[in-house]
Structure 1
Amino acid sequence: MTRWRDVQAVLFDLDGTLLDSAPDLAHAANLLRQRRGLPPLPLQHYRPRASSGARGMLAIALDLHPGDADFETVKAEYLAAYEEVMLRSTAAFDGVAELVQALAGAGMPWGVVTNKIERFALPIAARIEPLPRAAVVIGGDTTPHPKPHPAPLLEAARRLGVPAQRCIYVGDDERDIVAGRAAGMRTVAARYGYLGLEPNVQAWGADAHIDHPVQLLNFLEMP
């Protein structure tokens, strides 16, 4: 197995990579359905689209899409509902705490780059273990462009003081891999994440794939 000996930092996507946030994202969507006299949908309907945030949840819950006349209004309603419940059930995936503990023990800084806007990303990162130990948290509105643009990843590397080409980016969506490659980083696809409705993970072009968070350590040359 290839080991990357020159890695100086590891960056992660948030939803579907570090955190299983699908239950709370789905709960907020079902609250909107309830207000409209509709029955709740089971979590498995929502889970594949959880990495798409409000856009994905509204598509499943209400068949509502960007460009629809009332999309922005309902999106604002959804985000307000989500803000009320976002810490209800969200937790780190099994193995994440072990992974970041190993990184810390090796003196390897790590951080979060997510398309979740700072309004949600920063409180979540401050309160859900082990995220308070992240060296940097970049939200979807921290820079002018969210992923798949490389700007958020490059900003994270800048704040860490690490060259982008010495970073790894780990994510569970194709846009994560696109952004990481555009930033000049090595990329790892988290196959245990949400992945989308019809994923073809092999076609994303990631440098490596993992099926459990701790497997990332296999690619790192650490003391």
Structure 2
Amino acid sequence: MTGLADVQAVLFDLDGTLIDSAPDLGGAADEMRLRRGWASLPMDAYRPHAGSGARGMLRVAFDVTPEHADYEVLREEFYGAYEARLTRHTRPFDEVPALIDALERHGLAWGVVTNKAHRFADPLVAALPLLARAATVVCGDTTPHAKPHPEPLFEAARRLGLEPQRCIYVGDDERDMLAGRSAGMRTIAAGYGYLGPQATVEHWPADGHILSPLQLLKWLGLP
């Protein structure tokens, strides 16, 4: 699907789509292991699960799920460890700055819709100049609901003064596609992010799939 003349804005997920935060997310969980005298795990173990935040990192590092009795305590420890190293190694993915430049050059608004809480997203936006250019940033606690609920995407469209169908949503997780589809937006799966080996992208409700950020321009029919 190309030549989308009716698209006026592109909304992006954050982690795994615009920025590579896996080194700091995984690093925070690994620090917790080291504090306990446990062996460090390779970053390749953490990376496929970085899009799931604390839940994914704690599952890799400690094999615990939210149902585990110690999960809440471990999650708070993880939050503190992550907050202390939030931007140590986190950077935009290659090609993302060029993609944003191109979208702005063609007059398309762009914004961020993430499940990351304001506690973490606001310092990231402040630390990474590229993110400060976003027309809107909707976080996981901006509305009463997080993705895959469509309300964060509706909120982003409202802030941009656009009908949801005038926006597309780009993300690297099935919940991003579900949220976008429920909001009436066209959806693009970002295959360069944190899609793990078990991801079945072909079953996601996505309108397209890109393997690098700049491929989005081709999908939009832009030079």
Q: Would you call these one fold, judging by a TM-score over 0.5?
A: yes
Q: TM-score, normalised by structure 2?
A: 0.97
Measured after TM superposition, the shift of residue 115 of structure 1 is 0.6
Measured after TM superposition, the shift of residue 222 of structure 1 is 5.1
Specify the alignment match of 2:56 in structure 1: 56
Conservation of the 8 A alpha-carbon contact between 2:2 and 2:221: no
Structure 2, unaligned stretches of length 5 or more?
none
- Taking only the aligned residue pairs, the percentage that are identical comes to 60
Distance 2:222 2:172 in 1: 24
Specify the alignment match of 1:2 in structure 2: 2
Structure 1, unaligned stretches of length 5 or more?
none
Q: Does 1:77 align with 2:77?
A: yes
Specify the alignment match of 2:11 in structure 1: 11
Conservation of the 8 A alpha-carbon contact between 1:92 and 1:129: no
Return the letter of the residue paired with 2:7. V
Residue pairs, 1:111-130, within 5 angstroms: 111-130=111-130
Distance 1:88 1:98 in 2: 22
SS in 2 for 1:86: coil
Q: Deviations over 1:86-109 (max 9, x none)?
A: 100000000000000011111111
SS in 2 for 1:209: strand
RMSD: 1.1
Conservation of the 8 A alpha-carbon contact between 1:48 and 1:195: yes
Specify the alignment match of 1:161 in structure 2: 161
Distance 1:59 1:197 in 2: 16
Specify the alignment match of 1:179 in structure 2: 179
Measured after TM superposition, the shift of residue 125 of structure 1 is 1.5
Measured after TM superposition, the shift of residue 169 of structure 1 is 0.1
Distance 1:183 1:69 in 2: 35
Distance 2:128 2:16 in 1: 14
Q: TM-score, normalised by structure 1?
A: 0.97
SS in 2 for 1:130: helix
Conservation of the 8 A alpha-carbon contact between 1:171 and 1:188: yes
Measured after TM superposition, the shift of residue 6 of structure 1 is 0.2
SS in 1 for 2:53: helix
Distance 1:221 1:45 in 2: 36
Distance 2:126 2:134 in 1: 9
SS in 2 for 1:206: coil
Conservation of the 8 A alpha-carbon contact between 2:33 and 2:40: yes
Conservation of the 8 A alpha-carbon contact between 2:29 and 2:78: yes
Alignment length, in residue pairs? 223
Conservation of the 8 A alpha-carbon contact between 1:103 and 1:110: yes
Measured after TM superposition, the shift of residue 17 of structure 1 is 0.3
Specify the alignment match of 2:97 in structure 1: 97
